[in-house]
Amino acid sequence: MPEIICYFSPQSGYAYLGHGRLREIARAAGADILWRPVDILKVFAEGGSTAPAKQSPQRNAYRKQDIVRWAKVRGISINTEPKFWPTDTLPACRLIAAAQLEGIDPADLIGACLSAVWVRDIQISERDNLVRLSNEVGLDGEKLATLSDSVEAADKIARNTAAAIEAGVFGSPTYVVDGQMYFGQDRLLFVAAALGVAQEPVAQEHLS
């Protein structure tokens, strides 16, 4: 089975924009997505990247325009000024890791965390909210939240982060297919091509 490694932060706007399309590509290719939540601040530091919230006013103004354009292409909603961004992502990272430790595909939970930030204005650093989001996607939120406090969950995030840094990752989302790295959800067309999946159609009205 082909594999797509996805290094990401659960507060990443571009990870949110690409989440649904990545899953579509994986389904079409019969590929498995290896979800790798990371400590994004360590990834930024090691990769020489500036966190988006600390970039220049000019770059942040452009980013807001860009995410609106991409949200139209993807057919999803997005808030350009989310109430709880940036935030401490480690609680959500560890929650996702806890789901994986339980043998659960975390894709729906990841989507819930991302949309909590970029659509719903829900603080993903708070335990009660993470329990709620887990329950909303049919998981046992209390159980996962408890497991997220374990050494095993923390170690999993540490290993993901170290692997991302070793692979040369410098931002979120980053996809790896057959050893080739693709940074940014706008590179999903290359991920699709690498897996022999047709490109998504883009309606003309989405480009205006």
| 45-92 per-position pLDDT tens digit | 999 999 999 999 999 999 999 999 999 999 999 999 999 999 999 999
pLDDT above 60: residue 205? no
Task: Beginning with the edge strand found earlier in the chain, give each strand of the sheet holding 32-37 in spatial order.
Answer: 32-37, 3-8, 174-177, 180-183
Q: How far is 46 from 43, CA to CA, in rounded Å?
A: 5
How far are the Cα atoms of 17, 38, 200, 202 from residue 73, in angstroms, in the given order?
9, 27, 10, 6
- Residue with the bigger pLDDT between 107 and 200: it is 107
* Confidence tier at 203 by pLDDT (50, 70, 90): very low
**pLDDT tens for each residue of 97-119:** 999 999 999 999 999 999 999 99
Share of the chain above pLDDT 90, in %: 95
173 by Cβ neighbours in 10 Å (0-12 / 13-18 / 19+) ranks as: buried
Q: How far is 25 from 35, CA to CA, in rounded Å?
A: 14
Radius of gyration of the chain (CA): 16
For residue 81, the model assigns a pLDDT of 96
